Structure 1
Amino acid sequence: MHKALDDIALVVFDLDGTLIDSAPDLTTAVAKTLADYGLEPAGLDSVRHWVGNGSHKLVERALANAAADGVDTDEAHEAFLRHYAAAPCTDTVLYDGVRECLESLRDQAYDLMLVTNKPIAFLPPILDALDLNGFFSLTLGGDSLTQKKPDPAPLLYAARQGDIAPGAGLMIGDSRHDVQAGKAAGFRTLAVTYGYNHGDPISDSGPDHIVDSLAELL
């Protein structure tokens, strides 16, 4: 097993950009939202750079990019949520190595949890569509608690739920927000080189470990 797992009891995963490539479906929902206001679509590459701070921030960035100064962000966010809810997992896929990693860790009795900034309402249909139900003892969305990553609160909550000290937890994610949250919570951190990190190398965030694929944990 990878040395990142030494003395670890709890493994917490981010979702978007770590386990799943959800950018295509997010891009579609953003495009439909912008079209509601007569604005041009943003495109997949742009949306990949905007993901990571929750859906409201995603919409805010899309509106700023479109110079839509007169559009109410909260109203546009509600439109986005409706569009995304209609098709949250049409073109979303698992990254290579994800299922094998989850199965291996589960079989070795690691406690696995999911902590994402995606609204909690979208997690059940996505996990169901990708056959990820049954892997996680806890799932937290960006609106499950009053704070979300990079605040350490969700990870500290996960540690309490798992009845482990933060030092026995490993946070796995793709962005600086995951690394920041993990470090602030006292978790060990592991980052993947793919995913969504606003166009910056994940090494700049100083995670404890970096992998190109979650299959490297096996």
Structure 2
Amino acid sequence: MHSLLDGIRLVAFDLDGTLVDSVPDLAAAVDAALCDLGMPARGESRVRDWVGNGSMVLIERALRDALGRDADPERCRQAHERFLVHYAQRPCNATRLYPGVREALETLRGAGMILVLVTNKPEAFIAPILEHFELAGHFSLCLGGNSLVRRKPDPLPLTHAAEHFSISPANCLMVGDSRHDMAAGRAAGFRTLAVPYGYNHGEPVAASGPDGVVESLRELV
């Protein structure tokens, strides 16, 4: 086991950019929503830099890029509604599991660790993705961006998970791909571990000061 796991009893994982590369399906839904409103598609490469703060922020960034300015709240609402419709239809068409994820989850769970999922993705989309990859049984708790009153980078989802299982934050680890994951982990009193292959708005996640970095989650075990 990785040295950062010494004394750890609970491991919280981010989803998008950490366990799965969901950008192809997110980009398809974003582009479809924009087209519904008569705006040009933005493409997968742009969407890749906009993921990580929840679906509404994703849509706001896409609209800002398409319009060259901030969109009014009503247009944001309309685009977000269309995005949710399109994404619900095909959340796993091109999404893929990152190498090493399945092995890491199976080994950690087999070692008796509590695994939780803490993502800013709307809660409704968590189960379809986990079930598609046959990973739902690995997690004892799943929290989406709308599960609680605040989401990452606020520490609330992490402190909630630790309290739910009566585990001290000192015995918990946050694993993610972005500065928001690292900020939430530090604020919650968790150890933090970063993966460099995900979505961090074009910045190296190592610059966020995680306690450790692994190229693949396979290195955890």
Report the TM-score, using the length of structure 2 for normalisation. Answer: 0.97
Residue in 1 aligned with 2:161?
158
Distance across 2 between alignment mates of 1:162 and 1:95: 28
The superposition leaves residues 144-188 of structure 1 with CA deviations (integer Å, 9 ceiling, x where unpaired) of: 000000000000000011110011000000000000000000000
Deviation at 1:73, TM superposition (A): 0.5
Deviation at 1:43, TM superposition (A): 1.0
Residue in 1 aligned with 2:110?
107
Q: Alignment partner for residue 78 of structure 1, among 67, 77, 81?
A: 81
Residue in 2 aligned with 1:127?
130
Which deviates the most, 21-30 or 67-76? 67-76
**1:58-69 superposed matches below 5 A:** 58-67=58-67, 69=71
Report the TM-score, using the length of structure 1 for normalisation. Answer: 0.98
Residue in 2 aligned with 1:57?
57
Residue in 2 aligned with 1:141?
144
Q: What 5-or-longer segments of structure 2 have no aligned partner? A: none
Deviation at 1:38, TM superposition (A): 1.6
Q: Say which SS state the counterpart of residue 128 (structure 2) adopts.
A: helix
Residue in 1 aligned with 2:214?
211
Deviation at 1:74, TM superposition (A): 1.2
Q: Say which SS state the counterpart of residue 137 (structure 2) adopts.
A: coil
Residue in 1 aligned with 2:12?
12
Deviation at 1:40, TM superposition (A): 1.4
**1:32-47 superposed matches below 5 A:** 32-47=32-47
Residue in 1 aligned with 2:22?
22
**Aligned partner of 2:18: which letter?**
T
Distance across 1 between alignment mates of 2:77 and 2:183: 27
The superposition leaves residues 91-134 of structure 1 with CA deviations (integer Å, 9 ceiling, x where unpaired) of: 11100000000000011001000000000000111111111110
Distance across 2 between alignment mates of 1:9 and 1:131: 23
| Number of residue pairs aligned between Structure 1 and Structure 2 | 218
Which deviates the most, 60-69 or 2-11? 60-69
**Aligned partner of 1:66: which letter?**
A
**Aligned partner of 1:186: which letter?**
G
Distance across 2 between alignment mates of 1:25 and 1:116: 17
Residue in 1 aligned with 2:192?
189
Q: What is the percent sequence identity of the aligned residues? A: 58
Matched, 1:88 2:78: no
**Aligned partner of 2:23: which letter?**
A
Distance across 2 between alignment mates of 1:4 and 1:105: 13
Q: What 5-or-longer segments of structure 1 have no aligned partner? A: none
Q: Say which SS state the counterpart of residue 134 (structure 1) adopts.
A: helix
**Aligned partner of 1:126: which letter?**
I
Q: Say which SS state the counterpart of residue 99 (structure 1) adopts.
A: helix
Q: Say which SS state the counterpart of residue 194 (structure 1) adopts.
A: coil
What do you get for the CA RMSD once the two structures are aligned?
1.0
Q: Which of structure 1's runs of 4+ aligned residues deviate more than 2 A?
A: 68-71
